[in-house]
Amino acid sequence: MKRGPGTPIPSETPKVEVLPPSDTASFVPPPELAEISRRFDAEDYRGCVEPIEALFFARRNTLHQGLLQYVVALLQLRRGMVRSPRRLLIQALALWEPYGDWQEGLQLAPARQYAAAILSKLPADAVDVSLQAAAEWLSPPPALCAEVVCFRPPGSESEL
């Protein structure tokens, strides 16, 4: 198949789907989730991108698309950017809307609350701010996964 200049753009982009609710009893976390959790908790948002992309491209879904936008927004906020992270956080919240508080090992309720809190603090018309200004309102986000058994929702039978 010919690729490069002059190659026609596909008429249809791949469909991005909403995942069905996770079955907490049978959910088996993919290995990428542990890496994402570890890097996210260390505030290595750039390091989260590749494993999130692997999950997204494997199944093209709104959960991982929203997660990708969330971590990129946090990375950009840390660099003093405002306009793009605002858009990304709004999009992440919209993409996560169909999901409950826990989906595929991710605790979405705290992430949603944190994103909404950050959005409320972003200067309305700013494109970017100084790193010092960003540091004043950018606190560390809550963990994406629960504690020791980080891939099961609170109260599930498999929790230790």
Overall pTM surpassing 0.85 (yes/no): no
Based on its alpha-carbon atoms, the radius of gyration of the chain, rounded to whole angstroms, reads: 17
Q: Is 40 contained in some domain?
A: yes
Which tokens go with 133?
A: 């200004």
Q: 10-residue block means of pLDDT along the chain (160 residues)?
A: 63 82 86 94 96 95 97 95 95 97 93 96 88 85 70 45
Burial 114-130 (b: 16+ CB within 10 A, else e): bbeebeeebeeeeebbe
| Pick from 26, 51, 67, 5: nearest CA to 158 | 26
Describe the chain by its helix, strand, coil percentages, rounded to 5. Answer: 50, 5, 45
Q: Is 80 contained in some domain?
A: yes
Q: Is 25 contained in some domain?
A: no
User: How high is the pLDDT of residue 3?
Assistant: 58
Q: Residue 117 sits in which domain range?
A: 31-137
User: How high is the pLDDT of residue 57?
Assistant: 94
User: How high is the pLDDT of residue 146?
Assistant: 66
Q: Is 54 contained in some domain?
A: yes
As for how many domains the chain has, the answer is: 1
CATH classification of the domain holding 123: 1.10.3450
